[in-house]
Amino acid sequence: MSIHPPVTELNITVEKKGFYQGFNSMVTLGSKFIIILLVLWAAVFSDQAGALLKKMQGWSFESFGAWYIYAMAFYVIACLGLAIHPSLGKTKLGDPGEKPEFSTFSWIAMMFGAGMGIGMLTFSTAEPIYHFASNPDTIMGLVAPKSEETLRSVYKWSFFHWGLSAWGCYAIVGLALSFFTYNRKLPLTIRSGLTPLFGKKLEGPLGNIVDISAVVATILGVAVTIGYGITQFASGMHTVFGADWMINAQGSPTNAAMIIGLVIIMAASILSAASGVGKGIKWLSNLNMFLSFALLIFFMIFGSPLVAIKSLALGMWDYLINFPIQGLTYWASSDVEPAATLYKWQSIWWTVFYWAWWIAFAPFVGLFFARISKGRSIREYVMGTMIIPAIMCFLWFTVVGGTAIDLELSGQAGGTILGAGQEAQLFATLKVILSSGVAKAVTAMVVFLLMTYLITSADSAVLIINTINSGGDESQKEKTHIIFWGTIITVLIATLLLAGGLAAIKSAMLVGALPFSLIMVLMGIALFKALIRDALRARQGGKIVPVGTDTTTARAAVKASVSEE
């Protein structure tokens, strides 16, 4: 039985003239309508918006917590399975013999900066410190909290949140888009990743809905990331300059400080986005990586290197042997302890929130990964997008977070790190190990690094949004469109901050992530279907659609009627 040829053409309608020339007006206007409606709602009915978003967050946690857990497990299994497979892992993402566009260093630097850079500066200290006081092992009474024996459980859970699951979430989107764009010659947009399942139906309303959901999820995911980054940015600026108006009575950054920081960051990101991937974004990503290594070396010298080395080795071992259980365990809502606290820890405070965050960030990061990964094999891609960045995260958590925990265990910190807000815990750690003047200087470097990470994430997001809106066209867009999306992201974050602070942004993101989590599962299934059918075609002696040919030539080569996979 012969296998029909794959879809190698997806006609996405774009405007031929006018303001939206080159853009799909349905996707662009649909995305704008949803985001502008959210902005107006949050601005005009701020109290009601904050309250409703909080209720929706609780509903999504309780109703779809298990879905998030198992969906994330699927993404990891899919990526690792393809990489490990002897023949599929060798599949080139692009034309045979094609060379990668970027050096390996720049490639990894751009991926790390776009994927996790901001979160690392906040959570490499904040998460280990939190888990030092409370994690599932302490909740179940397996280890005592805030003690030396807690250390192994701290990293078992920290690595779980920032390891293969997080990066696998990004990788599955980028891998699907890379294959269908560079091997099938389909547009570089989210709907292309579903062609083996829905075929030509994706040219119409179904494809528009897929791309709109990707744009909305991207904007809300970036809003959370920048929201976290801005709070730490404002906290660091207060540490450096000591301006009282930047911090409120509770020790958290004021709205005024965060709004000013937001405007500065977004203005710089718009300028960077206007210069394109090969210039501003690449340059900033390389700078980020150098500064990150400098900060890491600083903590290795002045921090607690022995604790870091021990925690890294034991943490990776504990993570690897416990990962299958961690990745598939879901604690349902309960009124009985410890199940009640375990549910809150997993679904409200940590794991499910993280999974939704990574999923909301995935269309942006995944498409960006695809944009910069042409010419690499599937195995090389998975190594570069999952394994190496995960190890980088582990290093950060053990070197920086391990120093903070060691200072608390030894009594040097005296509870100052544990008592600080999560946005200020890195700076509190620097204050303990350094003199006042040196601490300010290093804090200034961290603030600058945070600023460059924020700019990199924001400008990359703007470019990706325009790529999706234009049906996968990667060419540089008119600056008007770059300025619009940069501005709308700024206004969205500002209004949500004023409506309910970071909690309101997080709640909005959770709602936006849900539909895209299903699209990601379908993308994984579609990729497996495409690769398996290619293998079957080859086994039957048929021709796989020639890479690098146009659609007419490809269809003539297989000499078969046009149909979906």
Return the CATH class of domain 25-29+63-558. mainly alpha
Residue 101 binned pLDDT confidence (cut-offs 50, 70, 90): confident
Q: What pLDDT score was predicted for residue 193? A: 95
Cβ proximity of 236 and 268 under 8 Å: no
Query: CA–CA separation, 218 vs 12, rounded Å?
Result: 20
Q: What pLDDT score was predicted for residue 93? A: 93
- The mean pLDDT of 285-290, rounded to a whole number, is 75
- The mean pLDDT of 475-504, rounded to a whole number, is 82
**Alpha carbon 134 to its chain's center:** 25
- The mean pLDDT of 265-278, rounded to a whole number, is 74
- The mean pLDDT of 540-554, rounded to a whole number, is 48
Q: What pLDDT score was predicted for residue 561? A: 31
Is residue 247 helix, strand or coil? strand
Query: CA–CA separation, 314 vs 317, rounded Å?
Result: 5
Degrees (nearest 5) of the Cα angle 241, 246, 252?
115
184-204 pLDDT, tens per residue? 999 999 999 999 999 999 999
Query: CA–CA separation, 280 vs 265, rounded Å?
Result: 14
What mean pLDDT value characterizes the chain? 86
Q: How far apart are the first and last CA of the chain?
A: 14
Query: CA–CA separation, 91 vs 179, rounded Å?
Result: 9
- Written as one string, the DSSP assignment of 439-473 is HHHHHHHHHHHHHHHHHHHHHHHHHHHHHHHTTT-
Residue 537 binned pLDDT confidence (cut-offs 50, 70, 90): confident
**Cβ neighbours of 485 (radius 10 Å):** 27
For CA atoms 494, 498, 503, 506, give the dihedral sign. negative
Is residue 559 helix, strand or coil? coil
Cβ proximity of 224 and 197 under 8 Å: no
Query: CA–CA separation, 373 vs 184, rounded Å?
Result: 15
**Cβ neighbours of 44 (radius 10 Å):** 11
Query: CA–CA separation, 304 vs 413, rounded Å?
Result: 13
Cβ proximity of 535 and 3 under 8 Å: no
Q: Note if the bond before 338 is cis, omega within 30 degrees.
A: yes
Q: What pLDDT score was predicted for residue 563? A: 38
Q: How far is CA 93 from CA 207, 472, 529, in A?
A: 23, 17, 16
Q: What pLDDT score was predicted for residue 562? A: 33
Q: Above pLDDT 70, what percent of the chain?
A: 92
Burial letters 284-320, b for 16+ CB under 10 A, else e: bbbbbbebbeebbebbbeebbbebbeebbeebbebbe
85, HSE (Cβ side, Cα atoms, 13 Å): 17
391-410 pLDDT, tens per residue? 988 999 999 999 999 999 99
Closest CA to 477 of 249, 273, 282: 273
Q: What pLDDT score was predicted for residue 215? A: 93
Query: CA–CA separation, 455 vs 108, rounded Å?
Result: 17
Q: What pLDDT score was predicted for residue 555? A: 37
Q: Write the DSSP symbol of residue 350.
A: S
* Res. 548: pLDDT tops 70: no
For CA atoms 236, 237, 243, 247, give the dihedral sign. negative
| Better-predicted residue by pLDDT, 527 or 39 | 527
Residue 110 binned pLDDT confidence (cut-offs 50, 70, 90): confident
Q: What pLDDT score was predicted for residue 560? A: 37
- Written as one string, the DSSP assignment of 170-191 is HHHHHHHHHIIIIIS---SSGG
Residue 323 binned pLDDT confidence (cut-offs 50, 70, 90): very high
- The mean pLDDT of 230-234, rounded to a whole number, is 89
Query: CA–CA separation, 358 vs 146, rounded Å?
Result: 29
As given in the structure block, the two tokens for residue 398 are 């053990």
| Better-predicted residue by pLDDT, 546 or 68 | 68
Q: How far is CA 545 from CA 179, 185, 556, in A?
A: 13, 10, 10
Q: Which residues pair with 480 in a beta bridge?
A: none
As given in the structure block, the two tokens for residue 253 are 């950054």
Q: What pLDDT score was predicted for residue 276? A: 57
Residue 559 binned pLDDT confidence (cut-offs 50, 70, 90): very low
Is residue 65 helix, strand or coil? helix
Query: CA–CA separation, 425 vs 416, rounded Å?
Result: 8
| Better-predicted residue by pLDDT, 548 or 188 | 188
Residue 132 binned pLDDT confidence (cut-offs 50, 70, 90): very high
Query: CA–CA separation, 231 vs 118, rounded Å?
Result: 11
Q: What pLDDT score was predicted for residue 271? A: 80
Q: What pLDDT score was predicted for residue 543? A: 55
Query: CA–CA separation, 94 vs 184, rounded Å?
Result: 9
- Written as one string, the DSSP assignment of 499-532 is HHHHHHHHHHHHHHHHHHHHHHHHHHHHHHHHHH
pTM: 0.87
Q: What pLDDT score was predicted for residue 379? A: 94
Query: CA–CA separation, 554 vs 559, rounded Å?
Result: 9
Q: What pLDDT score was predicted for residue 159? A: 96
As given in the structure block, the two tokens for residue 136 are 């599932």
Q: What pLDDT score was predicted for residue 470? A: 93
Query: CA–CA separation, 434 vs 303, rounded Å?
Result: 10
Instruction: Specify the DSSP element, H or E, that contains 377.
Output: none
As given in the structure block, the two tokens for residue 167 are 């990066």
Q: What pLDDT score was predicted for residue 343? A: 94
Q: What pLDDT score was predicted for residue 306? A: 92
Lowest-pLDDT range of 53-57, 426-430, 474-478 = 474-478
Query: CA–CA separation, 393 vs 196, rounded Å?
Result: 34
Cβ proximity of 178 and 93 under 8 Å: yes
Closest CA to 548 of 88, 94, 176: 94
Residue 247 binned pLDDT confidence (cut-offs 50, 70, 90): confident
Q: What pLDDT score was predicted for residue 547? A: 40
Q: What pLDDT score was predicted for residue 221? A: 86
Closest CA to 148 of 163, 168, 132, 162: 132
